[in-house]
Amino acid sequence: MFVWQYQEDGYLALEGFLDPEECDKLRERMSEIVDEMDVPEYCRIQFTTNHDEQLKNQGSADYFITSGDKIRFFFEKGVFDEKGEFIVPRERSLNKIGHECGKEAGFKVPCDFAEHQPGIGGEVTPHQDATFLYTEPLGRVMGVWIALEDATQENGCLWFIPGSHKNGITRRMVRTPKGTFPLTDFVGRERDYDDKLFIPAPVKKGGMILIHGEVVHRSALNTSDHSRHVYTFHIMDSQDTQWSPENW
């Protein structure tokens, strides 16, 4: 049943993967990391999946590209003044923390702690993970998204277009040749999607969503008074699979 649903819809929501105590421990550890955060002003960039917005951030793209084996911080829109100083509490300024790889565990792709802050949590526009994590053949990457707090329609749960993983991808983010600028670029463009096709996938604290690399998904603005912290990573099936050297 579960396998069929994942293959048919491109995602699968499972409640009760972690217990509340495990969720709290992950959040406590992340609070310790944020307390020690020291980010140069030129690296204080907004995280986005939007094509045009990402190109605007190229001035500090090396901060993103070299984050594969480090802990790096990416911020919500509008949390800095014109001098690059925080105008909100530091612990509420973050969109995500990434992308340190779990090499010892054999993971091929990075892990994130996504924040989605109350009142300012930015929209994640419709996208497919395979745009950024490309393999040949396609369909060998699966996202694992674990809610450390209740994820609701009010605080920015995920929304999916069921079955959209069967239509391939239309854009890729690739590294540009060494020594050129910008450091990354896009090949192709994201399709335009009808909002009516998206289905919400709310989950309780400790719930897990498995995400096919080609399924179209998004999350809305967090306009509530409640944060929506999640822990997320991707797994690649390495058998007979080529990880693209053009990936960031």
Q: Which of 137, 122, 146 lies closest to 49 in space, CA to CA?
A: 122
Q: What is the pTM of this model?
A: 0.78
Query: Of 68-72, 135-139, 147-151, where does mean pLDDT reach its minimum?
Result: 68-72
Contact at 8 Å (CB) between 246 and 168? no
What pLDDT does 200 receive?
97
Contact at 8 Å (CB) between 209 and 200? no
DSSP state of 191: P
Mean pLDDT of 113-122: 57
What pLDDT does 171 receive?
94
pLDDT tens digits, one per residue of 44-62:
655 555 655 554 554 456 6
> What domains lie within the chain, and their CATH numbers?
2-237 (2.60.120.620)
pLDDT tens digits, one per residue of 179-229:
777 778 899 999 999 999 999 999 999 999 999 999 999 998 888 888 888
The CA distances from residue 49 to 82, 125, 128, 131, 216, in Å, are: 23, 6, 9, 10, 12
Query: Of 97-106, 120-129, 220-229, where does mean pLDDT reach its minimum?
Result: 97-106
Reported as a pLDDT band with limits 50, 70 and 90, residue 105 is very low
